A and B are shown apart, each in its own frame.
Chain A
Amino acid sequence: MVNSQDAGSAQSPGGGLRRTLLAPRTLFGLVMSALLYGCAAMTLLPLLALLSYLVSQGVGRLHWRILIELPPPPLVEGGGFGPAVVGTLLLVAIASLLSLPLGILAALYLAEFSADQSLASWLRLATQVLSGVPSIVVGMFAYGVVVVATGKFSAVAGGFALSILMLPMIVRTAEDALRLVPSELRQAAVALGATQFQTVAGVVLPAAAPAIVTGMMLAIARAAGETAPLLFTALSTQFWPTGWLDPTPSLAVLIYDFARSPFENQRSLAWAAALVLVILVLITGVLARWVTRRSVR
């Protein structure tokens, strides 16, 4: 303790329990607390600045038609980013198809079947480290594995890259969800004569499902905003996606391209797309919270 010896002097001369605000220890605490609130304000300031600017720039262009129309050429009013919306959905769907089964199976092993704890903790560490791999490096990896092999930029390559980014998140949230299922449930199932497989498939998985879905949605929301891994896997086009083996536009890459455009109409479209993306992330976040709350109850 820094100054336990002046605990007496920190009290008012009357010897009462009341301390003056200027006593060194109290003053120190007050100053530190003020600094702390300052920290919070400094943190929230950029968030508020960003959100308010985003809304003010994007809301003017927001109309349901921008969700279905083709991007405009320079200097032409109107238009939208319909292809990018469809492309993002396509990419995220491919990524989910690839990562969900693998991720949930891996989580099942970590939470239910891992007899060897040291192996499990190594696998967990590997999963954590995988989540720290730079997304641009994952993009280059997908380029090397899919684009070079198939000879063209495609939705599959982009989806593959996104699936690797989603994987660690799914494993972690699904494992947490499975661990939250009370072990009494498992014991009850086993006592009723269920095999280990029946216990997990019939009792544990359904009980953990809402929380697993939550993690899934958060992973999907994150994947929808990823740009770097798509730059040279899915690439981008101005047109409607033509198939899962062709270059595919996405909202995120569209924002990146149009942000650097010299033309005002394309820039304002970038803001609108950013607003759509953030709204998407917000809705997923709120939905995820709602689902978890219901499952807790």
Chain B
Amino acid sequence: MKLTLIAALGVAAILLWIAVEIGLEAMPAIQQYAAGFLIATRWNPVKDIYGALPQIYGTLVSSLIGLLLAVLAGIGVALLLSEDFLPRPLQSLLALLVELLAAIPSVVYGLWGIFVLVPLLKPLGTWLHTYLGWLPIFSTPPSGPGMLPAGVILAIMILPTIAAVSRHALRAVPDEWRMAALALGATRWETILNLVLPVAGSSILGAVLLALGRAMSETMAVTMVIGSANRLNFSILATANTIASLIANQFAEASGLHIAALMYTALILFGLTLAINGLAELLVGRRQ
């Protein structure tokens, strides 16, 4: 019995251990740059000058693009999976396919992204630049890999999270309440919009946050399509970089202060995802 308590505490302790380990490794960079690291925009391993703003910006913006594209579709799929739109067999088929979408390894998404998605999005990028080029976010000609393909691939990858967790929340709304609304004369959609969605609202918000955390921590697929450019560019058609893909690209060859600087960025990413996931778990409250 004691052994199981120790194991359970051990699992929780790993979380702390990760934070301490990364923090210690990052110490040299933290001492050298302190908070200025967060707003400096140059990343030059040759001269040992490090600033993480472009990567932080890239992480946030690529995730937000993914979220924008995935939220409505994700909640829509969750509704199809929880309300009475589809016959049972079709519903479980859809659930299976969405699960499959979540199970495909991220490196496979990246492979597909390089060879299919990036070429596919290039004409769209050209069109956006030609007709809406006066907007800062479309101000550069499309470069092929970049922020836009990264956002699109993230959208595909986080959609199952939004759908599965929201479905769970929608299912938790008692059927009697739906029947009561219908008995009062509400149509199906009035029931959904005025009763089901508001009741499940905070859990769905949790699902969205969970997906945001997932998008920010996604590494391989993004690394393969974002173009790895370590400078700040507001155009989503240009190449960019995220914290995770910066680490994936550079860590194996890093040494000295470079390692510490990468550890510092990892600490930032860890802190960001920790806050978002913690909040999401509290909102979802999957267990009582």
Stretch at the interface among B32-40, B43-51, B135-143, B262-270: B262-270
Q: A136-B266, A140-B262, A259-B110 are in contact. Are A281 and B103 (CB under 8 A)?
A: yes
Tell me what chain B mostly uses at the interface: helix, strand, loop, or mixed: helix
How far apart are B146's CB and chain A's nearest CB, in angstroms?
16
Set of chain A residues within 8 Å of B31, measured between Cβ atoms: none
A46 close to chain B: CB less than 8 A: yes
Whether the pair B11, A136 counts as a contact (CB closer than 8 A) is no
How far apart are B154's CB and chain A's nearest CB, in angstroms?
12
Set of chain B residues within 8 Å of A287, measured between Cβ atoms: none
Set of chain A residues within 8 Å of B73, measured between Cβ atoms: 39, 42-43
Set of chain B residues within 8 Å of A167, measured between Cβ atoms: 11, 14
How far apart are A199's CB and chain B's nearest CB, in angstroms?
12
Whether the pair B101, A43 counts as a contact (CB closer than 8 A) is yes
Stretch at the interface among B125-133, B167-175, B231-239, B274-282: B274-282
**Total interface residues on A, using CB and 8 Å?**
89
How far apart are A166's CB and chain B's nearest CB, in angstroms?
11
Set of chain B residues within 8 Å of A130, measured between Cβ atoms: 11-12, 14-15
Whether the pair B252, A109 counts as a contact (CB closer than 8 A) is no
Q: A129-B281, A132-B273, A221-B103 are in contact. Are A1 and B217 (CB under 8 A)?
A: no
Set of chain B residues within 8 Å of A128, measured between Cβ atoms: 277, 281, 286
Whether the pair B76, A144 counts as a contact (CB closer than 8 A) is no
- Partner of A105 from B4, B17, B25, B270 at Cβ < 8 Å: B4
- Partner of B277 from A129, A143, A271 at Cβ < 8 Å: A129
Which residue from chain B places its CB closest to the CB of A253 in the assembled complex? Answer: B107
Whether the pair A227, B85 counts as a contact (CB closer than 8 A) is no
A7 close to chain B: CB less than 8 A: yes
B79 close to chain A: CB less than 8 A: yes
- Partner of B105 from A4, A127, A281 at Cβ < 8 Å: A281
Q: A36-B80, A50-B109, A252-B105 are in contact. Are A132 and B8 (CB under 8 A)?
A: no
B183 close to chain A: CB less than 8 A: no
Whether the pair A227, B107 counts as a contact (CB closer than 8 A) is yes
Which residues of chain A in 113-138 are interfacial with respect to chain B, using CB atoms and an 8 Å cutoff? 113-114, 120-130, 132-138
Whether the pair A256, B244 counts as a contact (CB closer than 8 A) is no
B213 close to chain A: CB less than 8 A: yes
Q: A50-B109, A137-B22, A278-B104 are in contact. Are A109 and B15 (CB under 8 A)?
A: no
Set of chain A residues within 8 Å of B98, measured between Cβ atoms: 43
Which residues of chain A in 127-183 are interfacial with respect to chain B, using CB atoms and an 8 Å cutoff? 127-130, 132-138, 140-141, 143-145, 164, 167-168, 171
Whether the pair B244, A136 counts as a contact (CB closer than 8 A) is yes
**Total interface residues on B, using CB and 8 Å?**
88
Set of chain B residues within 8 Å of A282, measured between Cβ atoms: 100, 103
Set of chain A residues within 8 Å of B25, measured between Cβ atoms: 140, 144
Whether the pair A133, B111 counts as a contact (CB closer than 8 A) is no
Whether the pair A197, B1 counts as a contact (CB closer than 8 A) is yes
Set of chain A residues within 8 Å of B281, measured between Cβ atoms: 125, 128-129
- Partner of A2 from B194, B251, B263 at Cβ < 8 Å: B194
A106 close to chain B: CB less than 8 A: yes
Whether the pair A252, B107 counts as a contact (CB closer than 8 A) is yes
Which residue from chain B places its CB closest to the CB of A33 in the assembled complex? Answer: B85
Which residue from chain A places its CB closest to the CB of B81 in the assembled complex? Answer: A40
Which residue from chain A places its CB closest to the CB of B188 in the assembled complex? Answer: A29
How far apart are A278's CB and chain B's nearest CB, in angstroms?
6
Whether the pair B188, A132 counts as a contact (CB closer than 8 A) is no
Whether the pair B11, A232 counts as a contact (CB closer than 8 A) is no
How far apart are B10's CB and chain A's nearest CB, in angstroms?
6
How far apart are B212's CB and chain A's nearest CB, in angstroms?
10
- Give 9 closest A-B pairs by Cβ, nearest first: A225-B105, A39-B76, A134-B217, A105-B7, A132-B277, A109-B4, A126-B12, A228-B219, A109-B8
30 A-B contact pairs sorted by A residue (CB < 8 Å): A29-B188, A29-B189, A33-B189, A36-B85, A40-B76, A40-B77, A43-B73, A44-B94, A50-B109, A106-B8, A109-B4, A109-B5, A126-B11, A129-B274, A129-B277, A132-B280, A134-B219, A134-B273, A136-B219, A140-B262, A141-B18, A141-B21, A144-B21, A167-B11, A231-B252, A252-B107, A259-B111, A270-B111, A274-B108, A281-B105
Query: B residues touching A (Cβ–Cβ < 8 Å)?
Result: 1, 3-12, 14-15, 17-18, 21-22, 24-25, 72-74, 76-77, 79-80, 85, 94, 97-101, 103-112, 114-116, 156, 159, 163, 184-190, 193-194, 210, 213-214, 216-220, 224, 244, 247-248, 251-252, 262-263, 266, 269-270, 273-274, 276-278, 280-282, 286-288
